Amino acid sequence: MRICTRRTFLTLLAASLLLLTSLPSLHAAAPAERSARITILQLNDLYDILPVEKGKKGGLSRIATLRDRIAGESPSALLVLAGDFLSPSTMSSMFQGRQMVATLNAAGVDLVTFGNHEFDFGPEITRQRMQESRFTWVSSNVLDPATGLPFADAVSFVLRDFDGIRVAFIGLTTPETQTLSKGGRSLKFLDPILAAKAVVAHAKRAKADLVVALTHQAMADDKALAAAVPEIDLILGGHEHDPLDAKVGKTLILKTGSEAVALGRIDLLASVGKGGRRVETKWELIAVTDEIPEKPEVAALVKRYEGLTAAQLNLVAGATSVPLDTRNEIVRVRESPVGNLIADLLREAVQADIALVNGGGIRGNAVTPAGSLTRGDVLRILPFANKIVKLDVTGATLRAALENGRSQIETTAGRFPQVSGLRFTFDPKKPAGYRLVAVTVGDRPLDPAARYTLATFEFLLGGGDGYAMLKEGKVLVNAQSGPMDSDLVLERLKAGPISPATDGRIQVAP
């Protein structure tokens, strides 16, 4: 039996915090002694329907095979996905996540929660993808401000019955989504811990025996959640791309990595009766390799989407005379040749004094060798379809933006700025907010009172990656009029091979 709740929210702990209060009905009383083995299969941060690492790992057609195998000996097994799958990827740039939903449907996914990338194409596209889904979206803290209800067709929790043991599944997404995704700005995000306390209490009143949280937030936040809400038996998380596990009290926290290179299997052996409640947890990460056969019908769907994209993606767009390094440890930490190229193209496109792009907007996390470049190569580097805007800003605003860009360099955060039209020196040893040593625009020091024109991504104009100060700027060229980042690179390639290089525009103080 599955019961989903999505009704009126009431004030909780603060006037701005709303949660569901109506109880779902139960059709039959539970037996006095109950026991069950509950099998949950976990994925998180899955950006492509195709296998990765030259086809040797991952792939949703292999996940489908594993799901069928495990369901053969554990018929009630659930396949869940802890967020981040609609974007970013080369295919998603073309289909806006439609191919992900279609393939997840075919693979037999049961439950998902929102990751920050579920809103990259805007809330309306997210709604469309949700309507196409045969799986259930569960979210306990992402609300539509207009209704105060879970966004679109999401439900605040799901109650599933496993041989008399009732398990409530809740969903929580990092509130940082409002700055991490341009589509998240129009949504309301409740504090995950406060939301969890309320929805878990609701689930317990609905006679839930166990609680499983699907989360998309940092491990530190998952640990804080487990400590604050010990009624949660299991946290299946996402957001980080490495396999992680932890135990806080009796709560197990698991993350499987990314790109379906491993499938998490968790077996909960639960019993409830006069002697109380007993839960034993066993788990493993199953390597998803090319030794696992592909499920034919899922593989056929993947092949169809490959065919739809191949004609465009495989066309040669131009060439590079040097390798293009888009690894995170380059574009999010230091001056990057690729970052310089992109920032220069932005500044030239809208005739601005300065350009600033966030390193997190440059993707691929790989080195593309010198030689021919296809459209697919470009879209792997710039998958977000970022529109370019031109602003009029003060020097003080620009300085604040540059300080923000250096504020999380220790964590390789995506806010690190790649720039054009200015030069600066920073000291990473100083406290965040005080790391700029010198900034020059042209041959002159940055003047806090002067005004400059700035080319940047629409995402940053909206406050993405902490750049809220850019909202103070006057918009001279809006997103509807500005070009797209990948189109600028594709157009530049028509003029001949590119040779991006560094020129010392970003320096680290000795």
How far apart are alpha carbons 303 and 309 in whole angstroms? 10
Give domain status of residue 15, yes or no: no
Burial (0-12, 13-18, 19+ Cβ within 10 Å), 110: buried
Please tell me whether residues 429 and 329 are part of one structural domain: yes
pLDDT confidence band for 3 (50 / 70 / 90): very low
Please tell me whether residues 302 and 157 are part of one structural domain: yes
Q: How many Cα atoms occupy the beta-carbon half-sphere of 117 within 13 Å? A: 24
Q: Which residue has the higher pLDDT, 21 or 503?
A: 503
- Number of structural domains, the chain? 2
Name the strand (E) or helix (H) holding 448. none
pLDDT confidence band for 185 (50 / 70 / 90): confident
- The alpha-helical segments, DSSP class H, found in 250-336 are 296-313, 328-331
How far apart are alpha carbons 26 and 298 in whole angstroms? 36
Please tell me whether residues 252 and 386 are part of one structural domain: no
Percentage of the chain exceeding pLDDT 90: 82
Please tell me whether residues 292 and 368 are part of one structural domain: no
Give domain status of residue 24, yes or no: no
Residue 474: which domain range? 317-508
Arithmetic mean of pLDDT, 230-238: 98
Burial (0-12, 13-18, 19+ Cβ within 10 Å), 351: exposed
Number of C-beta neighbours around residue 93 at 10 A: 25
Arithmetic mean of pLDDT, 80-106: 93
The helix/strand/coil state of 23 is: coil
Q: Which residue has the higher pLDDT, 3 or 96?
A: 96
Lowest mean pLDDT among 51-65, 81-95, 353-367: 81-95
How far apart are alpha carbons 386 and 460 in whole angstroms? 10
Arithmetic mean of pLDDT, 177-194: 89
Arithmetic mean of pLDDT, 42-52: 95
pLDDT confidence band for 31 (50 / 70 / 90): low
How far apart are alpha carbons 137 and 1 in whole angstroms? 17
Rounded to a whole number of angstroms, the distance between the first and last alpha carbons of the chain is 64
Q: Which residue has the higher pLDDT, 235 or 54?
A: 235
**The pLDDT of residue 503 is above 90:** yes
- Reported residue count of the chain is 510
Please tell me whether residues 260 and 330 are part of one structural domain: no
In 3D space, the residue among 249, 126, 136 whose CA is nearest the CA of residue 177 turns out to be 126
**The pLDDT of residue 18 is above 60:** no
Greatest CA separation for the chain:
80
Lowest mean pLDDT among 31-35, 307-311, 329-333, 356-360: 31-35
pLDDT of residue 13: 32
Q: What is the CATH number of the domain that holds 494?
A: 3.90.780.10
Burial (0-12, 13-18, 19+ Cβ within 10 Å), 271: middle
Q: What is the CATH number of the domain that holds 38?
A: 3.60.21.10
Please tell me whether residues 368 and 409 are part of one structural domain: yes
Q: pLDDT averaged over the chain?
A: 92
Please tell me whether residues 356 and 445 are part of one structural domain: yes
**The pLDDT of residue 145 is above 50:** yes
pLDDT of residue 12: 34
**The pLDDT of residue 358 is above 70:** yes
Please tell me whether residues 219 and 324 are part of one structural domain: no
Please tell me whether residues 255 and 393 are part of one structural domain: no
Lowest mean pLDDT among 15-24, 261-270, 346-355, 407-416: 15-24
Give domain status of residue 20, yes or no: no
Q: Of 272, 307, 342, which closes a domain?
A: 307
Arithmetic mean of pLDDT, 134-163: 96
**The pLDDT of residue 27 is above 80:** no
The helix/strand/coil state of 427 is: coil
Arithmetic mean of pLDDT, 51-64: 96
Percentage of the chain exceeding pLDDT 70: 94
The two three-digit tokens of residue 458, written as one number: 């629409």
Give domain status of residue 392, yes or no: yes
Q: Which residue has the higher pLDDT, 9 or 378?
A: 378
Burial (0-12, 13-18, 19+ Cβ within 10 Å), 508: middle
In 3D space, the residue among 66, 70, 50 whose CA is nearest the CA of residue 58 turns out to be 50
pLDDT of residue 6: 44
Q: What is the pTM of this model?
A: 0.74
**The pLDDT of residue 276 is above 90:** no
Give domain status of residue 312, yes or no: no
pLDDT digits (tens, 9 = 90+) for 241-269: 889 999 999 999 999 999 999 999 999 99
In 3D space, the residue among 113, 107, 110 whose CA is nearest the CA of residue 63 turns out to be 107
How far apart are alpha carbons 492 and 125 in whole angstroms? 30
Give domain status of residue 14, yes or no: no
pLDDT digits (tens, 9 = 90+) for 278-316: 999 999 999 999 999 999 999 999 999 999 988 888 889
pLDDT of residue 479: 84
- The alpha-helical segments, DSSP class H, found in 49-89 are 60-73
